Amino acid sequence: MPRFHTLPTTLTLVLSVLSPPQVASQDLSDIRQRFDRLNEKLLATQADKPLDNVDGGIAWGASYQMDAYLDMYEATVDPAYLEHFVRLADQVLAARADKSGTLDYRGRITFGWPSGGHYTLGKQVILRDKAGEPSIQVRTIGRSYNNKTSIEILEATREDQFGLRIIDSRKAEQPIETTFENLDLETVEGRVNPAPGET
């Protein structure tokens, strides 16, 4: 039964327009050499790096790589590609939260792969005022990745207002600062995270 594949990654670009029955043996040899060369480089970059999905490494990397190994096995019937697949699949399974001991946002271990960084809603943070008292609870900022954003509370002229300085550090060499003044608890959400079409 034929398998259906998603858009292949760099490793499978050499196969993207060819299906095994249409590939002449010389063409397959060339494809295999190119694939093996790219795979060797990829494996060298992955050496000694633990596999996780915090920044999408499994979803946006390992899954395509495993698919590429299966494509190559189907094209060549060489069990070496299945060995690569099994090695990587074992790493993916070992990265599950219940195997790695990774806690979710509730402090629990789940039977899945955790994600983080900009794939999450954001961790709840309670910002404190100058006296150290809890002031504002923040969970997410819609204009940047949560793991690359810092927030400062600014003093306002009126006692019932405050300001926020949001620092987006996705580009560490050029952080973007955005300041909101004269906010209150009624207006802060609409001004900092406006709905589409609102300004």
- Please tell me the pTM assigned to this model: 0.57
* Full DSSP string of 45-57: HHTT-----TTST
Last residue of a domain, one of 69, 99, 129: 99
pLDDT digits (tens, 9 = 90+) for 19-42: 445 556 778 899 999 999 999 999
- Indicate the number of domains in the chain: 2
> How many CA atoms does the CB half-sphere of 54 hold within 13 Å?
11
Let me know: does 2 contact 49? Beta carbons within 8 Å. Answer: no
Domain with 157 in it: 120-192
Q: Which residues pair with 58 in a beta bridge?
A: none
pLDDT digits (tens, 9 = 90+) for 86-107: 999 999 999 999 988 888 777 8
Task: Give me the pLDDT at residue 89, please.
Answer: 94
Q: Regarding predicted confidence, which is higher, 193 or 167?
A: 167
| Torsion sign across C-alpha atoms 112, 114, 119, 123 | positive
24 and 92 housed in the same domain: yes
